[in-house]
Structure 1
Amino acid sequence: MIDVTALRALRSVATLGTLARAADELGFTASAVSQQIKRLEREVGVPVLAPAGRGVVLTPAGQAIVDTAPSVFQALEHCAEAARSVADGAPSGTLRVVAFSTGVRGLLAPVVPALSTHAPELRLHISEEDPEQALRSVDAGTADLALTHDADGLPVALSPSMLQRHIHTDVGDVVLHRSHPLAELDRPLAVSDLAGHAWVTSPPGTVCHQWFRRLFAGAGVEPDVRHLIDDFSTQLSLVASGDVIALIPRLARPPLREDLLSLPLKRAPKREVYAAWRRSANASPAIQAVLRELSKTDA
């Protein structure tokens, strides 16, 4: 009989291309993953991997195994979830959740107290991962639930073996010092209001920098960017000086000091946040308990 751990290792190698990357994702050493693959080859009687440069590729036999692996994992998970459901339906055990950093701050952390009250036997294990990695972790079985956001307006591709639900719409606001001239405007800000003011913003390559550039796209205005800072708390410390303003997502924003003010935009940048999990785990009382609490965050 094929060992499930070895089967999971092969699928991870197939996705990531090297034993080392698969080992990092699965929490094993590269040597341990290699031994699992060798054990799988002994069990099926044919090679499943072949060297390719510095990485490896699947043999036809290996590809056939990987193609059928999802149905194996789903069947096993259906068995486990059926057992949990018929017990008493109460959420219990450890639920492994992976999420982007501001999703942890703005969505997961706030629901932990309610979960402690409503599901005292449930323990969350939260890890920070970007959306693509988070979905891979859930699909590979190394995590149970992922929080993701769309990338530049496009949702991250979802495996057919997974389900997702819209959880939240995150919006960007302008944050400034109460002494700043824009603080006198008692209305949502237009792009024309922002011309001529100095900024601190997130570095290129981040979602928030994309938001910032898109805000000025087509406006014929080149923003005066004084600082590039990835940490939002540090951005706010510079905003508190009164010299710069910032565009900050609401999920990422810590409580504002009394001398700071948040103003909405007429055409505010947005991103959609989703929860994703394996279809085979849909009956999980733990997953459903977390989804119920998360659904209240956008009420």
Structure 2
Amino acid sequence: MIDVAALRALRSVATLGTLAAAADELGFTASAVSQQIKRLERQVGVPVLAQAGRGVVLTPAGQAVVDSAPDVFQALERCAEAARSVADGAPRGVLRVVAFSTAIRGLLAPAVPRLSTHSPDLRLHLTEQDPDQALHSVHSGVADLALVHDADGLPAPLPPSMTQSHLHTDAGDVVMSRTHPLAALDRPLARADLAGHAWVTSPPGTVCHQWFRRLFENDEPAVPHLIDDFATQLSLVAAGEVLALIPRLARPPLGDHLVARPLRRQPKREVYAAWRRSAEASPAIQAVLRELAPENQLSPASSTA
């Protein structure tokens, strides 16, 4: 009979290309992964990997094994979930959740106290990952639930083995010092209002930088600071000389010295929860989804909070 851990190791190697990368993802040493692969080869009776430079590639037999792996994992997961559901349907144990940083801050962290009250036997293990990596982690079985956002208006492509549910619409506001001239405008800001002001923004390649560039189209505002951390951005904004475009999920309480104003053309991104179809009946996943449902989320930050 094929060893499930060895099968999972082969699929990880096939996806990541090296034993070392697979070992890092699975939490083993490269030697342990190599031994799992050799055990799998003994079980199926043929080589499943071949050396290719510094990496490895699947043999045709190995590719056939990997192509069949999702059916195996889904069948095993359905078996386990059926057992848990039949028992009493109570969420318990550990649920491995992967999510981008602002979803952890703005959605998961506020849900943890409610989850502790309603599902005291369930624990979350949270890991920060970008959407593409998060979906891979769930698809490969390394994680159970992912929180992801769309990329420039396009939802992240899901493997056929996964499904998703919309959780939240996040928007970006302009944050400024209360002493800044724009703070006196108690209305949504137009692009003309922003002309001539300096900014701190996230580095190129991030969603917030895309929002920022789209806000100005072909204009070239002054951007003396490129900072990835939103708390650091706000510390520079508090000094009174720059503005920042901050997603509401990423925004802490602004206190007495900062103010946020919405934009007339509001930049937005959609946030989704994604999980394996075979885990649909999981009491733990369903419990977390209930706590993350829009009616249970904290009210969006107001324009002046």
Identify the TM-score tier after normalising by the shorter chain.
over 0.9
Match of residue 286, structure 2, among 285, 288, 292: 288
State how 1:207-246 maps to structure 2 within 5 Å.
Answer: 207-218=207-218, 221-246=219-244
Distance in 2, Cα, partners of 1:278 & 1:246 = 37
The offset of 1:298, in angstroms, is 7.6
For residue 267 of structure 2, what is the aligned residue in structure 1?
269
After the TM superposition, which residues 94-109 of structure 1 pair with which residues of structure 2 at under 5 Å, given as runs? 94-109=94-109
Question: Pairwise mapping of residues 192-211 of structure 1 onto structure 2 (< 5 A)?
Answer: 192-211=192-211
Q: Distance in 1 between matches of 2:120 and 2:264?
A: 43
Amino acid at match of 2:189: L
Task: Look up the SS of the partner of 1:215 in the other structure.
Answer: helix
Aligned AA for 2:249?
Answer: L
Shift of 1:105: 0.4
State the Cα deviation string for residues 103-134 of structure 1 (Å, max 9, x = none). 10001000000000100111111111111111
Q: Is the 8 A contact 1:168 1:298 kept in 2?
A: no
Alignment of 1:251-270 (within 5 A): 251-270=249-268
Counterpart-to-counterpart distance in 2, 1:212 and 1:263: 15
Deviations 1:186-221 (A, max 9, x none): 210111110100111111122111111111114xx2
Which residue number in structure 1 is paired with residue 143 of structure 2?
143
* Residue 268 of structure 1: how far off its partner (Å): 1.3
> 1:169 touches 1:298 (CA, 8 Å); kept in 2?
no
* 1:170 aligns to 2:170 (yes or no): yes
Q: Distance in 2 between matches of 1:272 and 1:98?
A: 17
Q: Secondary structure at the match of 1:117?
A: helix
* Distance in 1 between residues matched to 2:139 and 2:286, nearest whole Å: 18
State TM-score, norm by structure 1: 0.97
Verify the 8 A CA contact 1:200 1:235 in the aligned structure 2: yes
Amino acid at match of 1:277: W
How do 1:1-150 residues align onto structure 2 when only pairs under 5 Å count? 1-150=1-150
Rounded to whole Å, the distance in 2 between the matches of 1:278 and 1:132 is 15
Question: C-alpha distance in 2, partners of 1:266/1:246?
Answer: 16
Amino acid at match of 2:238: A
Which residue does 2:248 correspond to in 1? 250
Q: CA deviation at 1:281?
A: 0.5
Contact kept in structure 2, 1:164 and 1:275, CA below 8 Å: yes
Query: Distance between the aligned counterparts of 1:191 and 1:4, measured in 2?
Result: 56
The superposition leaves residues 67-94 of structure 1 with CA deviations (integer Å, 9 ceiling, x where unpaired) of 1100100000011000100111111111
Q: How many residues are aligned here?
A: 297
**C-alpha separation between the residues in 1 aligned to 2:298 and 2:40?**
46
Identity value in percent: 79
Q: Which runs of no fewer than 5 residues in structure 1 stay unpaired? A: none
**Residue 35 of structure 1: how far off its partner (Å):** 0.6
Once superposed, what is the RMSD of the aligned Cα atoms? 1.1
In structure 2, relative to structure 1, the CA distance for the partners of 1:298 and 1:68 (3 Å cut) is farther
